[in-house]
Amino acid sequence: MSEKAVLLEADGPVANIVLNRPRVLNAMNMEWVLAFEEAVQLVASMSEVRVVVVRGRGRAFCAGLDLDMYSRELMPPGFFEAQERGFHGLEEMDKITIAAIHGYCLGGGLQLAISCDLRVCSSDATLGLPAINEGLMPGMAPYRLPRLIGLGPACRLILSGQPIGPEEAHRLGLVDYLVPAERFEEGLAEVVSLYLKVPRTAAIASKRLMQRAFQSSFDEALAEARELLAGCLASPEAAAAAAEWQVRKRQRRSRPEG
């Protein structure tokens, strides 16, 4: 029995969604998109998980559409819908999601990466959206990518289909952290540790409102912000931060002058 195309590994507050077709650079076939959707739904229900890392086994994050599948049957019925349910699930879940990019991150792989909240990129990565060269549009990237890096750079990447290197991706804001390949795991762990320290209620409230930034009117966003802020104020993290401030204030007052 072959191993699943996508694995879910949960360990306390951190979960890893692992793309698991290393022999084909984690290319996406029907089994892949269904297994990915299942993993996203499962991790979304895990209340103890705070940070979700999406990563690929082997030499690549994800090389995009499985071209053997595409050459035989193009895109099977339901493929795109299942793919987008998985990708949108990352955007909607009440956890911080991080794409750990190394090697090839192309096509659907890059579409997946930009569905995450943050992207940590190895210096050995190659990123691109070559769908145009295959007579396709790159899924929902024409919707998501301009919101992330602006219309002009998104047009160039999508309409040329040409790949870019990690330094340019970082300059464009396509990736958030650029880490030398030889210390990628260490650098990734540092980023994960940083976001584990963020107060959860405030982080998820901020994520919710940022997602509405290009969709809602100011008045709609303001009304939602009021509700989200009320939730933050009622959270144990806010109470702990206020108590800590009072402790620091008393400590400063008790210090002798001079």
Q: Are residues 57 and 117 in the same domain?
A: yes
Q: Are residues 126 and 245 in the same domain?
A: no
User: What φ, ψ does residue 153 adopt, rounded to 5°?
Assistant: -60, -35
Whole-angstrom distance, CA of residue 178 vs CA of residue 163? 17
Q: Are residues 20 and 134 in the same domain?
A: yes
Task: Tell me which residue range forms the domain holding 164.
Answer: 6-196
> Which among 146, 152, 96, 154 is positioned nearest to 120, based on CA atoms?
96
Domain assignment present for 1? no
**Mean pLDDT of the region 26-47:** 97
**Positions of E strands within 109-240:** 118-122, 126-128, 177-179
3-state secondary structure 177-203: EEECHHHHHHHHHHHHHHHHCCCHHHH
- 38's tokens: 């299942």
> Which among 12, 210, 192, 228 is positioned nearest to 92, based on CA atoms?
210
Per-residue pLDDT of 1-31, as tens digits, reads 468 999 999 989 999 999 999 999 999 999 9
**pLDDT of 232 over the 70 cut:** no
Domain assignment present for 177? yes
- 123's tokens: 């210096």
Phi-psi region of 242 (alpha: psi -120 to 50; beta: other; left: phi over 0): alpha
pTM: 0.88
Sign of the four-CA dihedral 104, 110, 115, 117:
positive
User: What φ, ψ does residue 215 adopt, rounded to 5°?
Assistant: -120, -30
Q: Are residues 119 and 225 in the same domain?
A: no
What is the predicted pLDDT for the residue at 211?
A: 83
**Mean pLDDT of the region 237-258:** 72
What is the predicted pLDDT for the residue at 1?
A: 43
Q: Are residues 16 and 69 in the same domain?
A: yes
